[in-house]
Structure 1
Amino acid sequence: MSRWPAFRFAHPHWQVGQVFPRFCPSIAVRAAMEKDQFDMPILVKVDATGGLLTLRTARDTSDFLLNRWPGKRTEKHRAALQACSDVQNGGKPPIGARRAFVAAAREAGVFVDQKATIAAG
């Protein structure tokens, strides 16, 4: 017996009366997470010792902006927070949130350019 609500469905290729789940929450959660994922992760400095944090989604970025932001909360910070919120609510693509966050992170001096890091390394 399935623990999810189910319905009985008859189809020529299925056994009559076979039980199928109506909704699989893990699929919905995974789809929602993929919608807010960035094409390329963002690297930021999190402390004075040079510790790095990788942000992969608008949700991670929003959490960083709210709870771990080291600089002043400027207009660029506010715009990045709004862009992340727009992505999480399903209205905007994640590239806009990524661009807004990178602008705010550069202003605060916490952005780590991955291209420059790879070229130097």
Structure 2
Amino acid sequence: MLHLSSFARPVVVQLSPHERERTIFDVNDAAKMLLRNFPHETEKRKLAMDACLQVLRGEARPPAARRAFVAAALEAKILRGD
């Protein structure tokens, strides 16, 4: 059974060519990545953070946060697998 904040499919990101890929399995992983590791403060990053917080508060479902996280990762050019 999936945890309430789990993504149906993980998202793979790579912050730089010199770092290993990271697999994001759930909203908690996505929120930590957005807070600590995202290269720039952008509108898509903010929307993704808001979406993660909404899921953690029980106001939204994980697919919404996953979509927002993928959009932010794509914009930041760190998305490796979706």
Question: Do both proteins adopt the same fold according to a TM-score greater than 0.5, normalized to the shorter chain?
Answer: yes
Q: Which amino acid aligns with 1:100?
A: A
The number of residue pairs the alignment matches comes to: 81
Name the counterpart of 1:102: 70
Runs of 4+ aligned structure 1 residues displaced above 3 Å come to none
Q: Which amino acid is 1:96 matched to?
A: A
- The letter of the residue matching 2:67 is R
What is the aligned partner in structure 1 of residue 26 from structure 2? 57
What residue identity is the alignment partner of 2:73?
A
- Unmatched segments (≥5 aa) in structure 1: 1-32, 115-121
* CA distance in 1: counterparts of 2:19 and 2:70, whole angstroms: 18
1:82 aligns to what? 50
Which of 1 and 2 has higher RCO (CA within 8 Å, sep 6+)? 2
Deviations 1:5-50 (A, max 9, x none): xxxxxxxxxxxxxxxxxxxxxxxxxxxx811000000000033315
SS at match of 2:9: strand
How large is the Cα RMSD of the aligned pairs?
1.4
CA distance in 2, matches of 1:46, 1:110: 5
Percent identity between matched residues is 35
Deviates more, 1:43-52 or 1:84-93: 43-52
Q: Greater CA deviation, 48-57 or 73-82?
A: 48-57
Structure 2: stretches of 5+ with no match in the other structure: none
SS at match of 2:3: helix
Specify the structure having the higher radius of gyration (Cα): 1
